[in-house]
Structure 1
Amino acid sequence: ISNKLLSPHPPSRLYPWSLKSWAQLLRSPQMKQVGRIIRVPARMAATLILEPAGRCCWDEPVRIAVRGLAPEQPVTLRASLRDEKGALFQAHARYRADAHGELDLERAPALGGSFAGLEPMGLLWALEPEKPLLRLVKRDVRTPLAVELEVLDGHDPEPGRLLCRARQERDFLPPGVRREPVRAGRVRGTLFLPPGESPLLIVPVSGCGGGCLYHSSSFSLCLSQVKGPGVGLLGVSKGGELCLSMASFLKGITAAVIINGSVANVGGTLHYKGETLPPVGVNRNRIKVTKDGYADIVDVLNSPLEGPDQKSFIPVERAESTFLFLVGQDDHNWKSEFYANEACKRLQAHGRRKPQIICYAGAGHYIEPPYFPLCRASLHALVGSAIVFGGEPRAHAMAQVDAWKQLQTFFHKHLGGQEGTIPAKL
């Protein structure tokens, strides 16, 4: 609509209000009045721009920008995805376009919503489940997670009409990586083999439960693929504890990254050849309840430094591995910082190399790859109820970005690769 003659008569008292409403409706730049002629530029179509567009790896940052808005137009950006079971995760943030009708999340701070401030990747790390107690988990890494991004008009509690949208698929398996299932006895696992003859082999260990380390056939299969000097272990939570045990009892492990792991055996007796590690004791009377009604179990486990519970302490002094401990200081699953420090003391007391410990203020229990949303609370397999895992969303997100870089640098250094030569890919 341009050069439109609105009325030959003098404007009424409603005239200024009607012009403002009309301009908002059209979402065009500010209209100009020349005499009785109102000049309204042609309506501009908003466009959502993603860089990289289309498809990328999950740990890769994305630049989000919007073009074609009205000057200083208020808008709401919304991100959503569904996990492999169809559960919905969403985040939103309110923004205001600049004087040119443009919005760039690398320069424009969020004015509120799921987060506030300058957070270019906030729409991913601030994702929250529609239903409580769900954690975003990717089980089949052969398929991407699709993120839907929408730009909505206005800042009202219920944003206005849809202005534009875009979709990005975020991958977990880089091109060329071979995925080979491991089936050996009662051992179940998967080998992810990079193209070429990479010297790096890293065994990620996760899960919550006991284990028997004498089933080492899968470990032998891993060793047959190694072209470098050894194997790296990467474990989170119970997996971190199992990595400590593997490094202590098994040969050929060169480097291990322990993310919020326990230095005591937890949950069930661990067997290796003729040796056993009993589980550390628990006292459920030490469970606290948060204001949200979730269990806080951070004080439930007994100290592995006292009484009969000393037998549950993993003999880390036997390990020939170099260790990196990544610790969330707001971990409420257990006392991860205490465990890392005690492992360090035990190693140094026996003349072993001092491990590296990196602590993250405000980070919770599940420190995952960059941009995974914080899991504040969820069901715990051993406890049998919902527990709080701790963490503050922004601090946790920043910790994940740094931890991802730190663990890759660590593995490059200690597994024979050249530091910084391998790109940060899942």
Structure 2
Amino acid sequence: MIGTQVPAPVLTVTPARGLVDDPICIKAGFMPPNHPVTLCAQMRSENGDLWEAFGHYNTSADGTVNLARDHSVGGSYLGCEPMGLFWALQPGPGERDGLRLRKKNVKIPLIVDISLLEGHVTPRERENSELAVATTERWYMAPGVQRIDIRQNGVVGTLFLPPGPGRFPAVLDLWGMGGGLVEYRSSLAASRGFASFSIAYMEHKDLTVQLDIDSSDKAINILREHPQICGDRIGIIGLCYGVYLTLRTATLSDVNVRRTVVYSIPYLKVWKLLLELAKSNMYMNIENLACPLLYILGEDDQNFPSTENIEDILKTAGKSHLYTCLSYPGAGHLIEPPYTPHSRMSVWRIKPEKMLALWGGHTAPHAAAQEDAWKEILKFLDKNLRRHSPPSCPYVKKVE
């Protein structure tokens, strides 16, 4: 009598190639019912550091696991979390202290290996318990997006244009004081149909002036003059110090900004003091705001928690209709694109001496905040920059 061959366990991860804000469907099958297994994710950063996450599952009555249906009962996260293997990634044992995952080269993907392991184990036991493996590529830049270096009028930045001839609505992307040129949010925004211009204002080899307070104003003018950008459909996104620049630019009478998104709101008086010490023009009146403002706040921000009540200022000025606030319990300072691993504390800078920054946030609620905030940002920009566009800026379909 010839026995029936038992099929080997199967693991599927779809899509195998997609943008970092795309959800992933992870399923496993052909296993015994009610059987303990572990799903594990591992990847190497561009610096070679190992990041990993894992969840303990029990197969269903039909011998399958579906992360969109089943609950993790242990590991890096608990509960039904379809993307838990991504947002729960943390540096592996023995890796450097204070790591934060930040994509530097957006032209290459993050490569994540997903493993199905026998029993409730840890990634350290992967070699002796691996049942199946699959790989997925996570991209920050969609096919057809153009990346353009800009060095103009003292502005150092990178412009990302969506696929197609345009003209496109655009956003100016402003980061904090970590230094350098950060591109991954801009490339992702362009992948979703918005031209996006990320600029550096300190610690970049091509800068002639550090912390040029007028850099954002100059960048807006560069966007206006670009032939593929709709000059009257420009918004700004700011985080940390970028919030100060965003609000300052949006409240200047000679700068016509259509929409602003600010999040991880800093204590604005701190930045005003720093700029005063630097003898910079720190002038800003919130009551002069003339465009809609999406204000995103992490309630566990341990870095620069917000203390100013912008809502009251705008209400007094008769402009409360311009203000929308999203406040997230358990979220910290660094509200990044969806599924970005949470760093409660990380190295902020190395020179002249190593300095750690406490960003705050708790992993699960912070991850939920990042996913929701990104959806709301795209909806806000779509509503205010793309819909009912004038003839000079035809509607641009979102890249799905």
Normalised to the residue count of structure 1, the TM-score between the two structures is 0.75
Equivalent position SS for 2:85? helix
Equivalent of residue 99 in structure 2, options 131, 134, 142: 134
Equivalents in 2 of 1:110, 1:331: separation in Å?
Answer: 28
In the alignment, residue 140 of structure 2 is paired with which amino acid?
A: F
Q: Are positions 1:356 and 2:328 aligned together?
A: no
Q: Are positions 1:241 and 2:204 aligned together?
A: no
Equivalents in 2 of 1:248, 1:217: separation in Å?
Answer: 15
Equivalents in 2 of 1:76, 1:41: separation in Å?
Answer: 27
Deviations, residues 331-387 of structure 1 (Å, cap 9, x unaligned): 111223x33xx2222223233344111101111111111111111101234995323
Equivalent of residue 112 in structure 2, options 139, 144, 147: 147
- Residue of structure 2 in register with 1:202 after alignment: 171
What's the CA shift for 1:408? 1.0
Equivalent of residue 92 in structure 1, options 38, 41, 54: 54
What's the CA shift for 1:255? 0.6
Equivalent position SS for 2:104? coil
Structure 2 matches for 1:25-424, cutoff 5 A? 41-52=4-15, 54-130=16-92, 131=95, 132-156=97-121, 158=125, 160-194=128-162, 195-208=164-177, 211-215=211-215, 216-225=217-226, 226-227=229-230, 229-249=232-252, 251-262=255-266, 263-264=268-269, 266=271, 268-269=274-275, 276-277=281-282, 314-336=284-306, 338-339=307-308, 342-352=309-319, 353-381=321-349, 385-417=355-387, 422-423=397-398
Distance 1:271 1:190, change over 3 A: farther
In the alignment, residue 75 of structure 2 is paired with which amino acid?
A: G
In the alignment, residue 233 of structure 1 is paired with which amino acid?
A: I
In the alignment, residue 48 of structure 1 is paired with which amino acid?
A: L
What's the CA shift for 1:73? 2.2
Query: Which range moves more in the overlay, 222-231 or 365-374?
Result: 222-231
Equivalents in 1 of 2:158, 2:121: separation in Å?
Answer: 48
What's the CA shift for 1:109? 0.6
Return 5+ residue gaps in structure 1 as ranges: 4-39, 278-312
In the alignment, residue 290 of structure 2 is paired with which amino acid?
A: E
Deviations, residues 130-170 of structure 1 (Å, cap 9, x unaligned): 33311110122111111110111111454542111000001
Distance 1:270 1:181, change over 3 A: farther
What's the CA shift for 1:44? 2.2
In the alignment, residue 248 of structure 1 is paired with which amino acid?
A: T
Distance 1:155 1:320, change over 3 A: same
What's the CA shift for 1:261? 2.1
Distance 1:318 1:386, change over 3 A: same
Residues 225 and 231 of structure 2 are in contact (CA less than 8 Å); yes or no, is this contact kept in structure 1? no
Equivalent position SS for 2:245? helix
Query: Which range moves more in the overlay, 199-208 or 359-368?
Result: 199-208
Deviations, residues 300-323 of structure 1 (Å, cap 9, x unaligned): xxxxxxxxxxxxx84222232221
Deviations, residues 39-95 of structure 1 (Å, cap 9, x unaligned): x7423211111122x201110001100122222221111101111111111001111
What's the CA shift for 1:276? 2.1
In the alignment, residue 206 of structure 1 is paired with which amino acid?
A: W
Residues 224 and 231 of structure 2 are in contact (CA less than 8 Å); yes or no, is this contact kept in structure 1? no
Return 5+ residue gaps in structure 2 as ranges: 178-201, 203-209, 390-394
Equivalents in 2 of 1:424, 1:87: separation in Å?
Answer: 32
Equivalents in 2 of 1:354, 1:265: separation in Å?
Answer: 25
**Matched pairs, number:** 348
Equivalent position SS for 2:219? helix
Distance 1:421 1:106, change over 3 A: farther
Equivalents in 2 of 1:403, 1:416: separation in Å?
Answer: 19
Equivalent position SS for 2:371? helix
Equivalent position SS for 1:380? strand
Equivalent position SS for 2:71? coil
In the alignment, residue 276 of structure 1 is paired with which amino acid?
A: N
Equivalents in 1 of 2:65, 2:293: separation in Å?
Answer: 44
Q: How high is the sequence identity, in percent, across the aligned residues?
A: 31
In the alignment, residue 257 of structure 1 is paired with which amino acid?
A: V
Equivalent position SS for 1:134? coil
Equivalents in 1 of 2:285, 2:218: separation in Å?
Answer: 22
Equivalent position SS for 1:251? coil
Residues 29 and 63 of structure 2 are in contact (CA less than 8 Å); yes or no, is this contact kept in structure 1? yes
In the alignment, residue 29 of structure 2 is paired with which amino acid?
A: R
Deviations, residues 197-220 of structure 1 (Å, cap 9, x unaligned): 244101111131672233444332
Alpha-carbon RMSD across the aligned residues, in angstroms, is 2.7
